[in-house]
Structure 1
Amino acid sequence: MKKYQGYFIDLDGTTYKGTKRIPAAARFIKRLQAANKTVLFVTNNSTRTPEFVAANLRDNHDIDVTAANVYTTALATADYLDRVAGDRRQAYVVGESGLRDALKQRHFILTDHQPDYVVVGLDSQVTYAKLETAVLLIRAGATFIGTNADSNLPNERGMVPGAGSLIKLVEYATQQKPVMIGKPEATIMQMALQKTGLSQEEVVMVGDNYNTDIRAAINTGMDSLLVYTGLSTPEQVAKMTIQPTHTVKNLDEWTIE
């Protein structure tokens, strides 16, 4: 078993299932903390701040972490744009407070007047007018950025539209491909590595979804640990050309070196 210093960990399906606890995940995190491992929750959710995510983990899932242990696609988007933008610091955002706050913290000005970037993420209050504005601004020359490609999100009502569904609408109306940030893209993983100061060889990506978590690791040249507590099944994964580095039925099975 390879020894890893860092563990990048998915949330829904891996650490919890909606509001339902996954007790093995809480025990897994406690074991990592006791072994002084670097723990970073890497999530495609752009709507929540790291503070909110950490509070939910502490209060509802018996996982004692802080905002410093959370890296959202909103933060990754802001970090990526901060790295490439130079003095082009104006953005129009279709998204919620997590995304808007992350961009403002990186000194971007949010505007609908000739922005340099149009950033589209999940927005539960989205309107036709917001999407219309995004499309027109991109067609006028703004660079199109998408937070993540998730087509759906699970909630108590079922599989509702995710950020990827909104991004696809804008893509179809503009005939322009966005720069994508979240899993399975390598960008969020590279930004997370930069945040932790670890190399890709020192980290394993832990997740339940082959098409996001495991593909993100593959695209970054990282090892992966697929846990069968969420979306992907052994039958589905068996058909994949590239297999996860490791698989477990639940996180109690994983030995920390």
Structure 2
Amino acid sequence: MGAMTSRTIECWLTDMDGVLVHEGEAIPGAADFIAALREHERPFLVLTNNSIYTARDLAARLAHSGIDVPEEAIWTSALATATFLTEQVPNGSAYVIGEAGLTTAMHEAGYTLTESSPDYVVLGETRTYSFEAITKAIRLIKAGARFIATNPDTTGPSAEGPLPATGAVAAMITAATGRSPYYVGKPNPMMFRSALNRVEAHSETTAMIGDRMDTDVVAGIEAGLETFLVLTGSTAPEDVDHHPFRPTHVVDSVADLVDRV
């Protein structure tokens, strides 16, 4: 589906869930696509809004499913958030709600994690949102800390069904403080631009592969990238026309892109 253009693609960005893996299992063709990128020495990054895990954790999870991605080729919303804050306030301080993926990224960016008059409150993903931690965040924001969230996703998947995620908890904090967070992750094209900077790539020669119109595709368009929508995730073919924007291409799966590398 979707005509291929003659535009030269030198760098690839790809979402993870719904493009490379589904519920921990590799999507057919995903391992071949990554192998082709590495064989042809194409710059690439796997992008994810998941801030729970470190890049090393995610590389291990992908390897377990049979996809060989080096940890330096994984770009999470936690890493993008830490990079953004370093550019805003170098060696600043933050009160962080999140897991190891976020706290590690903040530490490595030179940030001090503190509950005492931080520059920022940074909200990320966690499986155990604490009422005490949320209360602390509300009080610090009311006292003047700036509010940052890794991503706007309101729910996350689990074996039992949807779980409240960063966006849902951010909405609660916003209701209590009157302050909305700045979201760094998708669909903010900021995450894509930081990814491009990481691999020293240019938007004119970079493509984004995703399974969601409202995050991957729209952010790719806004960042000036060629976009590929795959149908192995959350978007059905009939859903595409419901949006006021379109991907450059619609393909059945990432397997259809192996020959494009």
Q: CA deviation at 1:176?
A: 0.9
Query: Which one of the candidate residues 72, 84, 90 is aligned to 1:80?
Result: 84
* Secondary structure in 2 matching 1:158: coil
**Number of residue pairs the alignment of both structures matches:** 255
Distance 2:95 2:157 in 1: 27
Q: CA deviation at 1:86?
A: 3.5
Q: Which runs of 5+ in 1 are unaligned?
A: none
Q: CA deviation at 1:72?
A: 0.5
8 Å Cα contact 2:153-2:168 kept in structure 1: yes
RMSD: 1.2
CA offsets 1:133-153 (integer angstroms, 9 cap, x no match): 001101110010010001111
CA offsets 1:131-180 (integer angstroms, 9 cap, x no match): 00001101110010010001111221122222111111111211111111
Distance 2:170 2:150 in 1: 9
| Aligned match of 2:136 | 133
Q: Which runs of 5+ in 2 are unaligned?
A: none
Shift of the 130–63 alpha-carbon distance from structure 1 to 2, 3 Å rule, reads same
Q: CA deviation at 1:219?
A: 2.1
Query: Which one of the candidate residues 239, 242, 247 is aligned to 1:244?
Result: 247
Matches within 5 A, 1:101-116: 101-116=104-119
* Secondary structure in 1 matching 2:233: coil
Matches within 5 A, 1:99-178: 99-178=102-181
Q: CA deviation at 1:46?
A: 0.5
Distance 2:31 2:148 in 1: 34
Normalising by structure 1, what TM-score? Answer: 0.96
Q: What amino acid does structure 2 have at the position aligned with 1:214? A: V
Q: CA deviation at 1:214?
A: 0.7
CA offsets 1:183-222 (integer angstroms, 9 cap, x no match): 0001111111110101111211111111111111122121
| Aligned match of 1:42 | 47
| Aligned match of 2:192 | 189
CA offsets 1:227-255 (integer angstroms, 9 cap, x no match): 00000111111222210011101122223
Distance 2:255 2:178 in 1: 46
Distance 1:157 1:20 in 2: 18
Q: Which runs of 4+ in 1 moved over 4 A?
A: none
8 Å Cα contact 1:122-1:166 kept in structure 2: no
| Aligned match of 1:63 | 67
Query: Which one of the candidate residues 217, 220, 223 is aligned to 1:220?
Result: 223
Q: What amino acid does structure 2 have at the position aligned with 1:206? A: I
Distance 1:30 1:202 in 2: 20
Q: What amino acid does structure 2 have at the position aligned with 1:171? A: T
Distance 2:169 2:129 in 1: 9
Q: What amino acid does structure 1 have at the position aligned with 2:234? A: L
